[in-house]
A = this chain, B = another copy of it.
Amino acid sequence: MDSCVTPLRHGGLSLVQTTDFIYPLVDDPYMMGKIACANVLSDLYAMGVTDCDNMLMLLAVSIKMTERERDVVIPLIMRGFKDSAMEAGTSVNGGQTVVNPWCTIGGIASTVCQPNEYIVPDNAVVGDVLVLTKPLGTQVAVNAHQWLDIAERWNRIKLVVSEEDVRKAYQRAMDSMARLNRIAARLMHKYNAHGATDVTGFGLLGHAQTLAKHQKNEVSFVIHNLPVIAKMAAVAKACGNMFQLLQGHSAETSGGLLICLPREQAAAYCKDIEKQEGYQAWIIGIVEKGSRTARIIDKPRVIEVPTKEKEGELW
Contacts and interface: CB of A to CB of B under 8 A. Distances in A.
Interface of A: 3-4, 6, 8-11, 13, 15, 17-21, 51, 53-54, 56, 58, 93-96, 98, 100-102, 104, 106, 108, 110, 112, 114
Contacts of A114: 10
Main secondary structure of the interface of A (DSSP, over half): strand
Contacts of A94: 3-4, 17-19
Number of copies: 2
A133 B3 CA distance: 36
Contact of A98 (B10, B13, B21, B95): B21
Contact of A8 (B19, B108, B112): B112
A136 to B, nearest CB: 23
B112 A17 contact: no
Given A19-B56, A110-B15, A4 B93 contact: yes
A3 B93 CA distance: 9
19 contacts: A3-B94, A4-B93, A8-B112, A9-B51, A10-B10, A15-B54, A17-B54, A17-B56, A17-B94, A18-B94, A19-B96, A19-B108, A20-B96, A21-B58, A21-B96, A100-B100, A100-B101, A100-B102, A110-B110
B15 A56 contact: no
Contacts of A96: 19-21, 106
